[in-house]
Amino acid sequence: RRRLVVVANANANANDARGGGRRETLVALASSLSLAVCAPFVRARDGGGGTARAGVSIEDDSAVRRAIRDALTANVIKTKCPAVLRLVFHDAGTYLESAGDGGMNASVTYELNRPESFGLKRGLSVVKSAYEALQGTAAEGKVSFADMIACAGAYAVEFTGGPTFLERVPLGRADASTADPENRMPEQTLGGREMREHFARSGVSTRDMVALAGAHTIGGKGFGDAYTFDNAYYATLVADPWNKPNMTKDEAEMAEHIGLPSDKYMREDEENMKWITKYASDQDAFYADFVDAYLRLTSLGARFVF
Active site residues: 90
Q: Which helix (H) or strand (E) holds 40?
A: strand 40-41
User: What ranges in the chain are assigned the alpha helix state H?
Assistant: 14-17, 29-32, 58-75, 81-92, 121-132, 145-159, 192-200, 206-213, 232-239, 249-255, 261-266, 270-281, 283-297
Q: Which amino acid is at 156?
A: A
Sign of CA dihedral 191, 228, 70, 59: negative
Residue 43 in contact with residue 54, Cβ under 8 Å? yes
Rounded Cα distance between 117 and 115, Å, is: 5
As a whole number of Å, the CA-based R_g of the chain is 19
Rounded Cα distance between 230 and 43, Å, is: 35
Nearest to 123 by CA among 72, 162, 174: 72
CB atoms within 10 A of CB 282: 14
Nearest to 174 by CA among 47, 298, 304, 300: 304
Rounded Cα distance between 266 and 262, Å, is: 6
